């Protein structure tokens, strides 16, 4: 539980004890895979933390565990992860993603079950695809992506995101549409619509997603930024650089 209480700073941008990840920024054309930016150490596998909410959303909508942007609303129950006050209330998919509600993620994985969670993760070719959790702890459904068994590098995040944007994961079309709705940033940046998810843990801060330009129909850029800072810090740094990276 000690590791969980620290690791569950999942994308909230709250202070952490330490970060060990080296900086990486990777950006690629989603269609061709051509690198546009590839700086730093991008091949080291790290815990996905709350960036795993994007694949969880895809799984949930495909499997019928999630219905739309607002439903299902699940009640908060005693015993759920609750150290953030906003988590101590009912949540639906939209607020789950916005507030990075850990217990809602865990309810999705419980409803999917271990076999389906593992099958989807392998189908997505998501990093090492290991959702078994800690050895002997039987906690894969609650912990595997939070500093435990599941690992993915920034380069592998890019490969996964290309498959998401290209709709190559063999999912229902609505799953892609709804997941994109949940992770869309409310403002455009330099003419780019931003779709992304943060993640924070002791080892890494993440911001991953894709870009679509309002004046360049059909063009999409996938990105992954990781490094020694919280997910919100990675997001803010990326968005501040974006106009210069993609003029």
Cis peptide before 72 (omega within 30 of 0): yes
One of 50, 148, 200, 230 is an active-site residue; which one?
50
- 148 a catalytic residue: no
Q: What is the C-alpha separation between 238 and 240, in angstroms, rounded?
A: 5
Q: Which of 6, 12, 2, 17 is nearest to 85 (CA)?
A: 12
Catalytic residues: 50
């Amino acid at each position: 539980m000690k590791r969980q209480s620290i690791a569950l700073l999942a994308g909230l941008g709250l202070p952490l004890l330490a970060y060990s990840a080296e900086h990486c920024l990777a950006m690629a054309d989603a269609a061709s895979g051509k690198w546009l930016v590839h700086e730093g150490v991008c091949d080291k596998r790290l815990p996905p933390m709350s960036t795993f909410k994007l694949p969880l959303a895809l799984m949930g909508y495909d499997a019928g565990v999630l219905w739309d942007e607002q439903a299902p609303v699940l009640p908060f129950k005693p015993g759920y992860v609750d150290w953030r006050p906003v988590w101590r209330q009912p949540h639906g998919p939209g607020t789950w993603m916005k507030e990075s509600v850990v217990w809602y993620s865990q309810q999705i994985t419980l409803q999917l079950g271990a076999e389906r969670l593992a099958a989807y993760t392998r189908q997505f070719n998501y990093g090492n695809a290991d959702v078994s959790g800690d050895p002997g702890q039987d906690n894969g459904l609650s912990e595997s992506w939070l500093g435990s068994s599941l690992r993915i590098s920034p380069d592998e995040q890019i490969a996964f995101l290309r498959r998401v944007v290209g709709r190559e994961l063999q999912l229902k079309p609505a799953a892609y549409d709804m997941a994109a709705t949940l992770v869309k940033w409310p403002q455009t940046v330099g003419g780019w619509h931003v779709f992304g998810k943060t993640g924070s843990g002791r080892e890494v801060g993440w911001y991953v997603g894709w870009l679509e330009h309002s004046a360049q129909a059909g063009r999409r850029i996938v990105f992954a930024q990781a490094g020694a800072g919280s997910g919100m810090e990675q997001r803010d740094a990326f968005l501040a650089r974006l106009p210069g990276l993609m003029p």
